[in-house]
Amino acid sequence: MVVLAGGLSHERDVSLRSGRRVAEALRDVGVDVEVRDVDARLLTTLRDEPPLCVLPLLHGETGEDGALREVLELLEVPYVGAPPSACRAAFDKPVAKVLVAGEAVRTPRSVTLPHEAFRELGAAAVMRLMVGSLGLPLIVKPARGGSALGCTAVRQEDALPGAMVTAFAYGATALVEQLVEGTEVAVPVLDTGSGPQALPVVSIEPDGGVYDYTARYTAGSTRFEVPAKLADEVAAECARVATAAHRVLGLRDLSRSDLMVDAEGTVWFLEVNVAPGLTETSTVPLSAHAAGLDLGELMVDLVHAAVARRAAET
């Protein structure tokens, strides 16, 4: 089988690390694996030498906006993960928020602004309106992207212009959202054919207080606890929200929802990932281990489900 890792997004290094980790786990359970990057030779290889299955571990726009999966569909190659339409909906954070909110899920109030509108309507006036409506603190992030790249917490109004510039450096549209204070948690959802099931909730406590790119991928800079120390009813709500997001967005096989639990125990949906990180410091392997699942065997189960799905479609 082929593991796709790398790509040209800002998250290339994370993708390569995920690819290496998963390839090693698969080899440990006896699977013959080839790790491939995305380049001009890839399609020819997949067409002329079709693999048993493709496992896309490309993070960021290259691997999560649905385009790659569209091409795999054209090639009629089995692949693990969400179909193109689901990827497009999930990768666009504002769209995902609206769809998931329809499942009786709370999500922070927000404003979505393309760079052109922000500039042409008058940046200063727009920012005053946002602060007046949403209040402070806020978090500003690219509407599309992951690994917290381009994200900035804004606690004072004079920090908002710099946060907008940072977000626009990573994408053409910014999402300005009320910042929910509390415990950040991650909830993987697994579906190997019997319906989506939430894996144990992982709580996240970065040493610096902010779960940024460095905190996510530097060993020892973040404390994870799994299962998270939450009241049973709160943990159950986290699981409900994550499975609801997985279902309403039409995701498949494996996803990860990022949530916040505030001081009152209210669960807030932030975003969902269709190609969650699988590095040494990622939350999905931690949660799978807590559930008694071996990463290699888990991936084999997903491959089998993908192959069976493709066979049923032909």
Active site residues: 11, 147, 217, 256, 258, 271, 273, 277
User: What is the DSSP-derived secondary structure letter of residue 4?
Assistant: E
List of residues 6+ apart from 187 with CB closer than 8 A: 198, 199, 201, 202, 238, 239, 241, 242, 256, 257, 259, 287
Separation between Cα atoms, residue 260 and residue 90, nearest integer Å? 18
Token pair belonging to 267: 């669960």
Token pair belonging to 108: 């922070």
Going by C-alpha positions, the residue among 272, 278, 305 that lies closest to residue 94 is 272
Separation between Cα atoms, residue 9 and residue 60, nearest integer Å? 6
Dump the DSSP string for 121-164: T-HHHHHHHHHHHH-SSEEEEESB--TTTT-EEE-SGGGHHHHH
Give me the residues paired with residue 224 across strands.
Answer: 204
Under 8 Å between Cβ of 203 and 225: yes
Pairing assessment for the beta strands 202-206 and 2-4 based on DSSP bridges: unpaired
